[in-house]
Amino acid sequence: MLSKICGLTRQEDVDEAARLGARFCGFIFHPKSPRSIAPEQAARLQSGSMQRVGVFVEQNAGEIARIMREARLDLAQLHGGQSVACARDVGAERVIRVLWPDRYMHRALLHNELQKYAETCAWYLLDAGLAGGGSGRRLEWQDLYGLRAPHPWLLAGGLNADNVERALKQCAPDGVDFNSGIEDAPGRKNLRKMAAAVRAAAQPKATGK
């Protein structure tokens, strides 16, 4: 099970994510977020073999490309409903497209959105709520059971060591995104909670497959 640790701002938290074998480390480039980080600060954080993900909300393709260069990013997580054209300019192979299942009354509508963005992303991230992220809210995991997405997808929304096994059993994503559920305060991860969450997600019995 792939793990992504998002909202990172401190080297000790990045180090722990790498030690635990997380696949992705995430940095938020949205000034209104309490977890926001400047590109030059993110660039100084050493991340080992993890793929570096930037979370973008209001930036256009040019700004995203600039920040990706400055912060040494591998992937752009489009968290603001950016257009297909924006994603194409960033590069489909570098895009994680965020969708909010709670926006759609029927599974077919969510499936249509997945198809809409399929040619301009490499991953999806399904988050709780109707917009934004990092709120600690959770999805109705069972509603995503059997979801057939064109690309691998990550589950986000209030995940922690206590609930991730249940989430995985109920909807079987390709990976999980931890953020607010493993923090002491926004941008300050609790290393014990992080370790427990990543280990719980890695247990074979938690995959539901």
Q: What is the pLDDT of residue 209?
A: 37
> What whole-number distance in Å separates Cα of residue 111 and Cα of residue 114?
5
Q: Helix %, strand %, coil % for the chain, to 5? A: 40, 20, 40
C-beta separation of 127 from 158 below 8 A:
no
Which tokens is 195 given?
Answer: 């370790």
Which tokens is 142 given?
Answer: 């069972």
> What whole-number distance in Å separates Cα of residue 98 and Cα of residue 14?
23
Structural element, H or E, at residue 99: strand 95-99
Q: 13-53 pLDDT, tens per residue? A: 999 999 999 999 999 999 999 999 999 999 999 999 999 99
Q: What is the pLDDT of residue 208?
A: 39
Closest CA to 208 of 141, 149, 130: 141
Go through the domains of the chain in sequence order and give each one's CATH number.
2-202 (3.20.20.70)
Asked whether the whole model's pTM tops 0.85, one would answer: yes
Q: Which residues are catalytic?
A: 6, 127
Which residues of the chain are under the pLDDT cut of 70?
A: 129-139, 204-209
Q: What is the pLDDT of residue 141?
A: 86
Q: What is the pLDDT of residue 206?
A: 37
